Amino acid sequence: MIDTHVHLSDKRFDKDRELVIDRAHQVGVKRFIEIAYAPEIITRAFALQAEHPTISLCVGIHPSESGRVPLEYLGELRDHARHPRVVAIGETGMDFYRDYAPREAQEAWFRAQLALADEVGLPVVIHQRSALEDVMSILEAARPAAGGVLHCFDQDVATMRRADAIGFKLGLGGVLTYGHEALDVAVREAPEHMLVLETDAPYLEPEPRSLRRNEPSLLPRVIRRLCELRDWTPEQAIAITTANAKDLFRAAW
């Protein structure tokens, strides 16, 4: 399995990070994409990947961080993006749920990162919350050349089809286990080439939500639900999603 969206640099893992990684390896998670979404997180993420060959990086500015990080940081981000272990740009997009940053700043950073992704030939990892139409409209106009993934996908068939039309994949994590009917239908009907796995650890623990923290070793819970929806065996689900992740991130893992 490949966990395409984790936050192992998060402070909630400071006491047991190595054990968390070991537990993931023991259940078959062989590769992680660490999402480094702010300058200070990028620094920690590079240190982490230097110690773990199974960790690759996605670097960017999260929409909630866009109000405090000036656009002048783009030059430094461009340098980070050229590192050989960086496989994506993001997570970027827009989040109007809490409005932690002005909408103008969110859109400016979103468009800047889409342009950067095209410049360096990397896919983009998209975060959106309460901003679906704004985000999809910008993506459909920009049509990122290397595609990308809609992180924490929790939408319907119509959104799935819009994503497929621009070469995007769907990031399936804990939300898939929460019983959202529209999401279930979208995942049943999605072309299999669109589906990749993620946890968003330490966020969004899959059901049963009992640990108060998510981690990559819980990815089999997502696999179980995916198999129910698609009538797949676990082996099929793992083979398909792993191949899709390798395709998305242009990796030979």
Tell which residue, 155, 196, 154, 191, has the closest CA to residue 32. 196
Q: Report which of 71, 183, 171 is spatially closest to residue 125, judged by C-alpha positions.
A: 171
Burial 222-235 (b: 16+ CB within 10 A, else e): bbebbbebbebeee
Q: Label residue 160 left, alpha or beta by phi (over 0 means left) and psi (-120 to 50 means alpha).
A: alpha
Within 10 Å of residue 237's Cβ, how many Cβ atoms?
24
| Per-residue confidence (pLDDT) for residue 212, from 0 to 100 | 87
Query: pTM of this prediction?
Result: 0.97
Average pLDDT score, the chain:
97
The full set of domains in the chain, from first to last, is 2-248 (3.20.20.140)
Please report the pLDDT score of residue 99 as a whole number: 80
Using alpha carbons, list the distances in angstroms from residue 215 to 29, 149, 233: 11, 20, 23
Give the model confidence (pLDDT) of 174-229 as tens digits.
999 999 999 999 999 999 999 999 999 999 999 999 888 999 999 999 999 999 99
String of b and e for 181-212 (b: at least 16 CB within 10 Å)?
A: eebeebbeebeeebbbbbbbbbbbbbbeeeee
